[in-house]
Structure 1
Amino acid sequence: MSLLHIHGLTVTFGDFTALDHIDLTLTEGELRFLIGPNGAGKTTLIDAITGRTRPTSGTITFNNQTLNGKAEHRIVRAGIGRTFQTSVVFDELTVADNVDLAASHRLHPWQLLRRRRTLPPALTHILDRVGLTAHTHTKAATLSHGQRQWLEIAMLLAQQPRLLLLDEPVAGMNTQERTRTGDLLTEIATDHTIIVIEHDMDFLRRYARQVTVLHEGRILTHGDVHTVQNDPRVQEVYLGHTPQKATP
């Protein structure tokens, strides 16, 4: 079942074309990696989906709803959540309070006036899912870099999205944290659809299922990891070299 369908998406800033007639379809339950060199248009594409950037032309349809022209908060309510390269965690709040705050956009006003003594079971489950149960009452400022990233994913899950957009989730992580994050994304993909912007090729080879490559605002190619990494165009524009021809 198609969850996200993008047709002819073009975004221009003055004379600069950031996205040029992008066509992209995601089915329910996909774990899609989005790669490409700096300036390829990856973040602009995510911004267009989430309403931060208005398309110049083209359509974005999510769950049979057209997103063009919708405000960011309405797109969140429609079921799309994202993380950013810059952390949105509140350092002086506990892990539990960060997740509770993220979930509050779905509460009725009368519920917001009540101070909750304990986390609802659904939010407790989310903390367990991302491996932060032991840090429930810990201030976010004391978390490691990897734990902060997992907290951001927990905050995203608390918003009950159907589609998660993750911008370089393993940037700055050590090897153990990258492995934990990859396993977490694989597990979350059992009941969510995920797009991951990533530059870590080792991480991509290990965890990606389907890969879309952007270059100069256009989709260069799409396919499984083996197909993409052996595409001569990808090797030239993304890996930075032209593949060697076999000697006769």
Structure 2
Amino acid sequence: MTLLSIQGLTVTFGTFTALDDIDLTLDEGDLRFLIGPNGAGKTTLIDTITGRTRPTQGTITFNGHTLNKRSEHHIVRTGIGRTFQTSVVFEELTVADNIDLAASFRLRPWQLLTRPRTPTTTVTDILDRIGLTPHAHHKAATLSHGQRQWLEIAMLLAQRPRLLLLDEPVAGMSAEERTRTGELLTQIATDHTIVVIEHDMDFLRRYATDVTVLHEGRILTHGDVATVQQDPRVQEVYLGRTHQEATT
């Protein structure tokens, strides 16, 4: 089933066109990698889906609802969550409290006052799923870089989104942390739809199935990893070499 449909999406800032007539469809359960050189429009696309940037033209439809004029807050409530290139967690709160706070965003004020003070089943289940149970009562400030990224993903899951948009989730991670993150994304994709912006080509080759390539605000190509890697246009604009150089 189609979960997200983008048609004719154009975003301009003055005379600069950041996105140019983008058509993109995501089906329920997709794990889509979005790649492209710096300035290709990847983050702008996510910003536009989540309401941080308004489209100049085109339509964004999520689960049958048009998002164009909705606020960021309302878009989150429709079931879209995102991370940023720099993790955003509450450092002085424990890991469990960070997840509990994220899980409470749908509650009304009177519900917040009466909610249990101990971690809920939702929080403990997410801690276990993400692999952060041993750190549940540690302050977020004590976590490693990779663990902070996992906590941010855990906080998204607590909001019960249908679509997760992850902006460079393995940037700065160790090889072991990248492997753990790849396994985690594969597991989460069994019951969520995920878009991953990524520059790590080794990570892409190991864990991606569907890849969309952006270049200068346009979709250059889409396909599986092998198809994308063999495309001479990708080799030229993303890998920085011509097809002839790539095959000799």
- The TM tier, using the shorter chain, reads over 0.9
Correspondence 1:189-208 to 2 at 5 A: 189-208=189-208
Query: Matches of 1:124 and 1:197 in 2, distance apart?
Result: 28
User: Cα distance, 1:116 vs. partner?
Assistant: 2.8
Counterpart for residue 85 of structure 2: 85
Deviations 1:183-206 (A, max 9, x none): 000000000000000000000000
Q: Secondary structure at the match of 1:244?
A: helix
How far apart are 1:214 and its partner, in Å?
A: 0.1
Q: Distance in 1 between matches of 2:9 and 2:117?
A: 46
Within-5 A mapping of 1:31-50:
31-50=31-50
Structure 1 residues 126-175: Cα deviation after superposition (integer angstroms, max 9, x where no partner): 11100000111000000011100000000000000000000000000000
Q: Is 1:223 aligned to 2:223, yes or no?
A: yes
Q: Output one character per residue of 1:81-138: Cα deviation in whole Å (capped at 9) or x when no partner.
A: 0000122111111001111111111112212113632111112111110000011100
Aligned match of 2:138:
138
Query: Which residue matches 2:26?
Result: 26
More divergent stretch after superposition (114-123 vs 64-73): 114-123
Which segment is superposed worse, 187-196 or 101-110?
Answer: 101-110
Q: Structure 1 residues 114-123 or 129-138, which shifts more?
A: 114-123
The amino acid of 1:35's aligned partner reads I
For 1:218 and 1:185, the matched residues in 2 are separated by: 26
CA distance in 2, matches of 1:179, 1:78: 31
- The whole-number CA distance in structure 1 between the counterparts of 2:95 and 2:122 is 15
Size of the alignment, in residue pairs? 247
* 1:145-184 correspondence to structure 2 within 5 Å: 145-184=145-184
1:10 is aligned to: 10
- Aligned residue type for 1:127: L
Please show how residues 59-78 of structure 1 align to structure 2 within 5 Å.
59-78=59-78
Q: Is 1:53 equivalent to 2:53 in the alignment? A: yes
Structure 2 CA distance, aligned partners of 1:187 and 1:46? 22
TM superposition score normalised by structure 2:
0.98
CA distance in 2, matches of 1:45, 1:105: 25
**Structure 1 counterpart of 2:107:** 107
Structure 1 unaligned blocks of 5 or more: none
Percent identity, aligned pairs only, is 81
Which letter does structure 1 place at the counterpart of 2:176? Q
TM-score, normalising length from structure 1?
Answer: 0.98
